[in-house]
Structure formats: C-alpha cells, structure tokens
Amino acid sequence: MLEDETGKRLPAKTVFSLAIELLKRDLLEDCHKQLADDLSEDDIKWVLTVPAIWNDGAKQFMREAAEQAGIPRSQLKIALEPEAASLYCRYLPVQKGHEENSLASFKPGTKYIVLDAGGRSFK
C-alpha cells in the first residue's frame, strides 16, 4: 500500500499501473498525431526499465502493473536501467570540436563506462 500526503491509501500496483497507462496513452496520442493511423498498438514493443538492484519479485510486480495498464506480455520487455543507459550511450552522438561523432562509429573492441550511481543520496 502507498499513502499520499493526505493519508489516502492505494495498492502500489494500482499506482504504478495508472502511471504506466498515462505514459502509454500520451505516447500513443503523440504517435497518432505524427503518423496518422500508420501505427497500431500491435506494432509497439514496450520496454520498461527497472533499477538493477530489483529482485525477481519486484520485476514481476512491474510486469503485472504494465499488463494491468493494457500492455500485453508478448509485447513487453523488462530491462535493467544500467543496461538501457549503456545502449543509449552506445548510440549517443558526441561533440568533438566542430565535428559530431557517434559512439556507434567506434571500432569493435572500443570500451566505455556507464556509471549507475543509483537514486541514493551520498553524504
């Protein structure tokens, strides 16, 4: 159960599901504005990221919340945040002087580091 600042309590899965449903609806509205009706929900593969420290039960919770939000299990992947960040960085254009290079143009074997500092505050 989660409690808001007024003391109202709701099941955590309901809160997560409603948040996912809102994000899904916003994305679909934007896609339909830009692509007219060329895109159907069946064309979308949904990827939800979760913290790397989450155990299998927490990942299952997220999967169930997404399904409750209307995302079919067959179209859903759960990815760890550091892995998603690494893939993002792999294709992130970087500025070098006046040239723009892409990390994707690195030669095979090139190494880079992604630091996941987590959401904790450090003292």
Residue-wise pLDDT for 3-24, tens only, equals 999 999 999 999 999 999 999 9
**Contact in structure between 73 and 67 (CB atoms under 8 Å):** yes
Q: Tell whether pTM > 0.85.
A: no
Q: pLDDT tens digit string along 39-98? A: 888 889 999 999 989 999 999 999 999 999 999 999 999 999 988 888 877 776 665 555
pLDDT of residue 75: 96
pLDDT of residue 24: 95
114 pLDDT exceeds 70? yes
pLDDT of residue 102: 54
